[in-house]
Structure 1
Amino acid sequence: MERQDVIEALRASGESTLENAKAKALAEYDQLFNVSLNIAVTGETGSGKSTFVNALRGLGDDDDGAAPTDVVETTMKATMYEHPGMPNVKLWDLPGIGSPNFKAKTYFKDVNFDIYDFFIILSAKRFSENDLMLAKEINKIKKNFYFVRTQIDNDIRSKERRNGFDEQKVLSEIRQDCKENLKEVENPHIFLISCFQVEKYDFEMLRNTLEIELPTHKRSALLQAWPVCSTKSLKEKIKLYEGLVWAAALTSAYIAVIPVPGLSIACDASIVLLFFVRCYYAFGLDDCSLRRLSKKVKIPLENYLRKSKIASAIRDKTLTRMQVSAALGTVAAIEFVLSLVPVVGSIAAAGLSFGTTMYILREGLNELASIAREIRDVAGLNAIDH
């Protein structure tokens, strides 16, 4: 690399040598895109497990690929659903405990508890004896579990017409009732949520708690996949990607020294494309997320994506590896020729790839972040946060 590129890469990585910086970049890049996260969603029949899984994936119950929902038990076996934009994040919709097909006494043999990183135990009413049994069994295998009381929006609507209605008082009463039913669990984590109003109640508090208690290498996967619940959570997502632009660029530079025609640019293109697609889904710019938000605020939001060429290309499925390769194509021949020159040539090739990719990633990230902020502003969500 040119000296300025080396200085910038070392400063961004916090390492003292280029080799250490490369190793760190590869590790962080791999962690961002490849570390798996398996979330188990369980609870009694009718607690809204499938709807919760869909909400975490940014899908409505009627969207293509959504977990099926109904008034009767629809989950007959542990079913895995990948996050639409983060395939390393997997949500498992487990059968409802206590249903005719899954008796409480045999449930733990029927469902393999070992493969999950943590458990969400849902209840639409009061936590029951079956829920306590679940918690105790999960505790035996030394994994974390969290009690989530769903359909809070329905509880609020049923009581808001009463004289002297106080929403905070109602929420406090529900929370206390949950605690009373979970006395046998020491310091239970209890969260009140609505799957249709993720910006309200405890949805973001749930994510914050999960993030704190997850192993460090799993946290970025959770942050990327979790729906945008507030201006603060969007800022955290943007900050995450800003902090990893250098790693993606340096990973590209590391690949660029391999003297195979077309390999460098193909890898650069793959890295750029994957980075942008991850941002697109993490920021809630995908069709399903925008459709849900548009329906909620009664404002058509999808057309705002047209202000971003990158977002539009991803939406229209025209941002392909070939397209990104073309964007980088002006330096393709130079990179390849330089990569064939021993030592000096390879370093120069890596430097060119690093600088080019760094610029493209920064500009693209800023563009996607800007449109995500504008959409939240138009939807009136920033005002709600304040």
Structure 2
Amino acid sequence: MATQDCAVSKAAKAKETIDQFLNVSLDIAVTGKTGSGKSSFVNLFRGLSNDDDGAAPTGVTETTVKRTKYDIPTMSNVNIWDLPGIGTPNFKANKYLKDVKFKTYDFFIILNSERFTENDIMLAKEIRKRNKNFYFVRSKIDIDISSEQKRPGFNEQDVLDKIRKYCERNLNELGNAKVFLISSVDLGKYDFEKLQKTITDELPVHKRSALLQAWPVCSAATLEEKIKLFKGLIWVASIASAGITVVPVPGTSVACDAAIAFLFLLRCYYAFGLDDRSLKRLSEKVNKPLLEYRAESKFANAIQKKEVTTLHVGASVIAMSTVADLFSLFPGVGSAFAAGLSLASTQCLLTEGLNELANTARVIRKVAGLDTIE
């Protein structure tokens, strides 16, 4: 009885961990003056172009007149908020944090396409007083680079260093303020990956997985970090699934395994950028058809059809799952043995699925010419 109680306790803890992984909320605030590129940044982060349905409106005039919440199409529990610029007519500097409902957000991204203003610095100081993090992002770097290329003796790294140092001097009174340089059209360039790592390191542990899952796949390193995250959770997901088997109800293990497996692999599918929207956008960017490479993955196809449970992942896994159902009918030793078999079968399924989806994403990036083919 004590052994069974311990197993149930471990399963409950595992279930809690998986639930948190799948559902923990994250709210990101993006602010900056008119014309700094806030809305374009929000759209790029969400994997949308400025012309897509549901994209944040952009333009040369102030298009953000009230705080607006946008979800991540592939992560409903992560929201990115497009905030009006501080000091605009309806959002005075001295009342800004109250007016935009400061407590809503986990951290702030302060965006500017030129120099950071006194209002930006004041905002950062107030955020710091309230014990939240902020990140200065200098946008539209690609436009600066394009302009500087026309000058004799152009050197891209020198231009980037000059812009960074200028911004940091501008923020000197904040003390060691970091500035991240990003492109207006390509998040894979410059400091976007460094921004992700810095924010992740400074978030509470339970929020980190949400950010990493939602973050766009802008490099091979980002993809590998996502893969590592999911690999670290396979064991927990398997325990959560197997723990249900100790309840002697026919068919319970199969139903539970299916639900956990599908949600886990579905999240992998989206996090690795294998959904239609992400692949179509990437195909247009590199002018190559990429959806056909996803079609070679049985797990990607099963996820699209919501038929993960019909996959044939090997006779040994099927046999273990069948035996687990039989043993779950018997209390005590039988139930515990069934739980062990269920754990093993779920672990096999998730491992195979994760590896196949990860390899599919790697192949697509290589075919797209984004990573070197070894």
2:287 to 273, 298, 307: 298
Q: Report the counterpart of residue 363 of structure 1 in structure 2.
A: 352
Q: Report the counterpart of residue 318 of structure 1 in structure 2.
A: 305
CA distance in 2, matches of 1:373, 1:333: 34
Q: Report the counterpart of residue 74 of structure 1 in structure 2.
A: 63
Q: Report the counterpart of residue 354 of structure 1 in structure 2.
A: 343
Cα–Cα, structure 1 residues 261 and 83, in superposed 2: closer, same or farther, change >3 Å? farther
Q: Give 1:275 shift.
A: 1.0
CA distance in 1, matches of 2:56, 2:354: 31
1:257 to 243, 246, 249: 246
CA distance in 1, matches of 2:310, 2:296: 21
1:104 to 90, 93, 96: 93
Q: Give 1:138 shift.
A: 0.7
For structure 2, list consecutive stretches of 5 or more residues without a partner in the other structure.
1-5, 313-317
Give the CA RMSD over aligned residues.
2.5
Amino acid at match of 1:258: V
Cα–Cα, structure 1 residues 367 and 325, in superposed 2: closer, same or farther, change >3 Å? closer
Contact 1:231–1:382 (Cα < 8 Å) also in 2: yes
Matched, 1:280 2:269: yes
Contact 1:39–1:118 (Cα < 8 Å) also in 2: yes
CA distance in 1, matches of 2:60, 2:258: 46
Amino acid at match of 1:57: R
Amino acid at match of 2:111: L
CA distance in 2, matches of 1:380, 1:254: 44
Q: Which moved more, 1:367-376 or 1:343-352?
A: 343-352
Contact 2:8–2:246 (Cα < 8 Å) also in 1: no
Contact 1:118–1:143 (Cα < 8 Å) also in 2: yes
Q: Give 1:330 shift.
A: 7.8
Q: Report the counterpart of residue 75 of structure 2 in structure 1.
A: 86
1:156 to 132, 142, 145: 145
SS across alignment from 1:80: strand
**Identity between Structure 1 and Structure 2 (%):** 59
For structure 1, list consecutive stretches of 5 or more residues without a partner in the other structure.
1-16
Matched, 1:58 2:58: no
Q: Give 1:51 shift.
A: 1.7
Amino acid at match of 1:139: R
Q: Report the counterpart of residue 113 of structure 1 in structure 2.
A: 102
Q: Give 1:267 shift.
A: 2.3
Q: Give 1:253 shift.
A: 0.5
Matched, 1:169 2:158: yes
Amino acid at match of 1:128: T
CA distance in 1, matches of 2:17, 2:199: 21
Give the total of aligned pairs: 365
Q: Report the counterpart of residue 135 of structure 1 in structure 2.
A: 124
CA distance in 2, matches of 1:343, 1:81: 50
1:308 to 266, 289, 297: 297
SS across alignment from 2:137: strand
Query: TM-score scaled to structure 1, two decimals?
Result: 0.87
Q: Give 1:178 shift.
A: 0.8
CA distance in 1, matches of 2:220, 2:108: 27
Alignment deviations for residues 246-305 of structure 1 (CA, whole Å, 9 cap, x no partner): 111111101223344554333221211111111111112222222332232222222211
Contact 1:63–1:288 (Cα < 8 Å) also in 2: no
Q: Report the counterpart of residue 315 of structure 2 in structure 1.
A: none
Q: Give 1:368 shift.
A: 0.6
Q: Which moved more, 1:99-108 or 1:364-373?
A: 99-108
Contact 1:45–1:98 (Cα < 8 Å) also in 2: no
Amino acid at match of 1:159: E
Q: Report the counterpart of residue 192 of structure 1 in structure 2.
A: 181
Q: Report the counterpart of residue 8 of structure 1 in structure 2.
A: none
